[in-house]
């Protein structure tokens, strides 16, 4: 293999290059990125960058030292066997890494709406977060909650409009998300649950009910779609992202996919997973690089992510299913430190969600990996370390 092309200059793209080089690949590497920026980290965009504590989040990786040809401001347009079509012409490859991430969903309407995916998005939004500005955030998911946190800290009058019955309902279910409702009022943020947005207008939002939410700034945080439109019509099979096996191989030879755009087969959970979180973009590329170089490697993690909102650290590890039962550890009203464990019908830990209980997530992730049976009564006792349950 002489030439590997990596499409997508985000974290998964740059980590793929590091993994290829550290595994001894000495051939040519070309990195194609649609944005005009060198690869950077996205988690700080809705945290330190919005809060004004950082202006740049460029990934600490020396592409020059790794002898990478970097093509920024260049988008992939199509793929044939061995040939990548880009906005700057065609490129032949022997191996290809697809790492094109995801793109925010936009709401209907003529009014201006901010989204938060790129450093340019973050800097543009930060400028608008001034004291007294009326900010309407659509969606109380991970991004919406973090934007609301930053906007409230900046002195804005913040309203969050959420279609579900609680914040984070789509991600962790309303029975868990409901415990975060009080955080909004305490931060001075108005939370409107069960409210569907119809359109974004010049002066705010119109809800499906006809009610209006006046706003100077509208931020849409209603999710993302895998950025795979450029692969339509190619031999790469798509279904909720790029379909890959447990080795992260696509349906086209010598083509792998990683990060937010990859929908992989998890041996551990017997299910397809597409995880839009940082740890996946960080870890999966090592398996993808090994696969590309003809080595035997399987990607089979217990997914992990975190979120920082309303002065709380939220962490999650695992993959719960509807058959699992939930056990609460600690009292969300009492000291603010609590966790939820999902136990399988056989009392094995399927997933753990923690609020300001970092030890639970570390120990819980190991327990999900190990798969041993737990004592549910001890799991429900917040005083017992999870590893001793
Ligand atoms: P991306 O980072 O999206 O990189 C993909 C790159 O490919 C982009 O630069 C894009 O422009 C480029 N691209 C797309 N299409 C093309 C094309 N056709 N041709 C060329 N280039 C293309 N995760 C957590 O676990 N915890 C957090 O707290 C957290 N906070 C986040 C906050 C924000 C604001 C955002 C946006 C994400 C956050 N995440 C968080 C998620 C995490 O950042 C992503 O999972 C991670 O960035 C995915 O990396 P990636 O390389 O797969 O995709």
Q: Whose CA is nearest to atom 4 of ligand 1?
A: 10
Residue 278, ligand 1, Cβ within 6 A: yes
Q: Do the two domains 3-103+224-292 and 106-220 of this chain adopt the same fold?
A: yes
Residue 114, ligand 1, Cβ within 6 A: no
Q: 3-103+224-292: CATH homologous superfamily?
A: FAD/NAD(P)-binding domain (3.50.50.60)
Beta-carbon count within 10 A of 105 CB: 13
Tokens found for residue 337 = 């430190």
d(CA 9, CA 7): 7
Residue 8, ligand 1, Cβ within 6 A: yes
Residue 350, ligand 1, Cβ within 6 A: no
d(CA 329, CA 347): 15
Q: What is the pLDDT of residues 141-199, one digit of tens each?
A: 999 999 999 999 999 999 999 999 999 999 999 999 999 999 999 999 999 999 999 99
Tokens found for residue 289 = 């690089």
| Ligand 1: nearest atom to the Cα of 8 | 7
Q: What is the pLDDT of residue 175?
A: 94
Q: How far is the CA of 260 from the centre of ligand 1 (A)?
A: 7
Question: Binning pLDDT at 50, 70 and 90, where does residue 344 land?
Answer: very high
Residue 39, ligand 1, Cβ within 6 A: no
Q: What is the pLDDT of residue 334?
A: 77
Annotated domain spans of the chain: 3-103+224-292, 106-220, 311-388
Residue 42, ligand 1, Cβ within 6 A: yes
Q: Whose CA is nearest to atom 1 of ligand 1?
A: 101
Measure the CA angle with vertex 323, ends 319 and 326; round to 5°. Answer: 70
Q: What is the pLDDT of residue 161?
A: 98
Q: How far is the CA of 275 from the centre of ligand 1 (A)?
A: 11
Q: Whose CA is nearest to atom 43 of ligand 1?
A: 42
Q: How far is the CA of 74 from the centre of ligand 1 (A)?
A: 17
**CA atoms within a 13 Å half-sphere pointing along the CA-CB vector of 37:** 15
Given a contact cutoff of 8 angstroms between Cβ atoms, the answer to whether 270 and 22 are in contact is: no
Measured in degrees and rounded to the nearest 5, phi and psi for residue 306 equal -140, 165
Q: Name the fold adopted by 311-388.
A: Enolase-like; domain 1 (3.30.390)
Tell me: pLDDT of 241 over 80: yes
State whether residue 55 is helix, strand or coil: coil
Tell me: pLDDT of 283 over 90: yes
Tokens found for residue 173 = 């279910």
- Average model confidence (pLDDT) across the chain: 97
Assign domain 106-220 to its CATH architecture: 3-Layer(bba) Sandwich (3.50)
Given a contact cutoff of 8 angstroms between Cβ atoms, the answer to whether 40 and 132 are in contact is: no
Residue 102, ligand 1, Cβ within 6 A: yes
- Report CA 336 to chain centroid distance, whole Å: 25
Question: Binning pLDDT at 50, 70 and 90, where does residue 135 land?
Answer: very high
| Ligand 1: nearest atom to the Cα of 11 | 51
Q: What is the pLDDT of residue 81?
A: 85
Given a contact cutoff of 8 angstroms between Cβ atoms, the answer to whether 94 and 1 are in contact is: yes
Measured in degrees and rounded to the nearest 5, phi and psi for residue 299 equal -100, 115
Given a contact cutoff of 8 angstroms between Cβ atoms, the answer to whether 207 and 213 are in contact is: yes
Percent of the chain with pLDDT over 70: 100
Pocket test of ligand 1: the residue of 5, 19, 34 to mutate, having most ligand atoms within 8 Å of its CB, is: 34
Given a contact cutoff of 8 angstroms between Cβ atoms, the answer to whether 113 and 127 are in contact is: no
Beta-carbon count within 10 A of 230 CB: 20
What is the distance in angstroms between the CA of the first residue and the CA of the last residue of the chain? 49
Name which of 45, 216, 208 is nearest 137 in CA terms.
216
């Amino acid at each position: 293999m002489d030439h590997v092309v990596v499409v997508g200059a985000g974290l998964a793209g740059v980590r793929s290059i590091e993994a290829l080089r550290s595994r001894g690949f000495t051939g040519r590497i070309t990195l194609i990125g649609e944005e005009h920026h060198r690869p950077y980290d996205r988690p700080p965009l809705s945290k330190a960058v919005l809060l004004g504590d950082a202006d740049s989040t460029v990934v600490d990786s020396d592409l020059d030292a790794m002898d990478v040809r970097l093509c920024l401001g260049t988008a992939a347009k199509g793929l044939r066997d061995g040939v990548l079509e880009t906005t700057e012409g065609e490129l032949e490859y022997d191996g290809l890494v697809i790492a094109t991430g995801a793109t925010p969903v936009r709401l209907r309407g003529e009014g201006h709406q901010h989204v938060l995916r790129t450093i340019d998005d973050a800097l543009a939004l930060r400028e608008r977060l001034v004291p007294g500005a009326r900010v309407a955030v659509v969606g109380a998911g991970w991004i919406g909650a973090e934007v609301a946190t930053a906007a409230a800290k900046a002195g804005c009058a913040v309203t969050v409009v959420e279609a579900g019955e609680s914040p984070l309902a789509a991600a962790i279910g309303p029975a868990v998300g409901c415990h975060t409702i009080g955080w909004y009022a305490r931060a001075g943020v108005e939370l409107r649950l069960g409210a569907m947005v119809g359109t974004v207008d010049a002066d705010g939002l119109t809800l499906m009910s006809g009610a209006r939410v006046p706003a100077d700034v509208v931020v849409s945080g209603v999710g993302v779609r895998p950025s795979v439109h450029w692969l339509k019509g190619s031999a790469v099979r798509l279904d909720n992202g790029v379909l890959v096996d447990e080795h992260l191989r696509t349906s086209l030879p010598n083509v792998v996919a990683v990060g937010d755009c990859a929908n992989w087969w998890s041996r551990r959970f017997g299910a397809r997973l597409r995880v839009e979180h940082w740890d996946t973009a960080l870890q999966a590329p090592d398996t993808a690089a090994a696969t590309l170089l003809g080595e035997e490697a399987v990607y089979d993690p217990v997914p992990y992510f975190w979120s920082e909102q309303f002065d709380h650290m939220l962490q999650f590890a695992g993959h719960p299913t509807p058959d699992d039962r939930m056990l609460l550890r600690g009292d969300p009203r009492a000291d603010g430190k609590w966790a939820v464990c999902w136990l399988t019908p056989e009392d094995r830990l399927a997933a753990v969600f923690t609020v300001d209980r970092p030890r639970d997530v570390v120990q819980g992730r190991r327990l999900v990996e190990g798969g041993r049976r737990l004592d549910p009564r001890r799991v429900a006792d917040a005083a017992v370390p999870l590893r001793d349950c």
